[in-house]
Amino acid sequence: MEPEELHRRFAELTTAHLADACLRARVPVRCAPMRPVLPGGRLAGRVCPARHAGSVDVFLEAYRDASPGDVLVVDNGGRLDEACVGDLAVLEARAAGLAGVVIWGLHRDTAEVQAIGLPVFSLGALPTGPQRLGPRPAGALESAGVGEWTVTRADLVLADEDGVLFLPADRAGELFALAETIRDTERRQADLIRSGVTLRDQLRFEDFLDRRRHTPSLTFRDYLRSIGGAIEE
């Protein structure tokens, strides 16, 4: 999916829609609870990975090799004792044409980063930068760890107020189409609730309870799929 199409289609979706699409397509849901530094922030782009070991040189090298619209994904091991990205690193990301920065760790210079306006997502803020300098990890620019997941340039990263989600780029078209179907179904259901038709009535919830009495193994998710409803995957 080209960057222009990615941004256009994600503008009408949320990470929640796409996470549900992953579940429906049996794709691992790779997400992390990182928050936007600037409230309301959103980003989408190809992963540009960088494993941090105490120095910003790895970011500068990543910027050199990045394509416009990529998103720097910083692996700082989820550390909460140091901030690894500040305003200068974010300014340089913008100058390099990146779409944003995602940090599995902390940032600092919050006011300055907010003023820059480039979307940045992290686990939070801390005043101090690194007070250590470790050896450069192998494959520092080939992959990044985010929580239990490892992401590479073969992945896309999407982020909004709900957090950060990673998708395999080669399945983006399929997952976006599913997410759009889920979004449209949920919008119709929401409109009906506002007009006075409860969700229980829309989903024929009493029918589900009756069917479950006869088939105890029936799950609500399977029932929803059988009737074309949407509220969970």
**Domain 3-170 of CATH type 3.50.30.40:** yes
- Print the SS3 string covering 115-172: HHCCCEEECCECCCCCCCCCCCCCCCCCCEEECCEEECCCEEEEEECCEEEEEEHHHH
Q: 35-59 pLDDT, tens per residue?
A: 999 999 999 999 999 999 999 999 9
168 vs 17, 19, 94, 110, 116, CA distance in Å? 16, 12, 24, 31, 29
Q: Looking at the predicted structure, is the pLDDT value of residue 198 above 50?
A: yes
Rounded to the nearest 10 degrees, the angle between the axes of helix 3-10 and helix 172-194 is 20
Average pLDDT, the chain: 94
Domain locations along the chain: 3-170, 175-227
In which band, very low, low, confident or very high, does the pLDDT at 233 lie, cut at 50, 70 and 90? very low
Q: 101-123 pLDDT, tens per residue?
A: 999 999 999 999 999 999 999 99
Q: 138-192 pLDDT, tens per residue?
A: 899 999 999 999 999 999 999 999 999 999 999 999 999 999 999 998 999 899 9
Kindly compute the dihedral angle of the four CA atoms of residues 21, 155, 92, 86, in this order, to the nearest 10 degrees: 70
Mean pLDDT of 11-32: 97
Which residues lie below 8 Å from residue 166, measured CB to CB, with a gap of 6+? 30, 31, 47, 146, 149, 151, 155, 156, 157, 158
Which of 17-21, 77-81, 179-183, 225-229 has the lowest average pLDDT?
225-229
pTM here is 0.90
CB 132 within 8 A of CB 115: no
Q: Looking at the predicted structure, is the pLDDT value of residue 231 above 80?
A: no
Distance CA 191, CA 73 (A): 38
152 vs 47, 50, 74, 166, 229, CA distance in Å? 6, 10, 11, 10, 34
Q: Looking at the predicted structure, is the pLDDT value of residue 136 above 90?
A: no
Centre a 10 Å sphere on the Cβ of residue 136 and count the other Cβ atoms it contains. 16
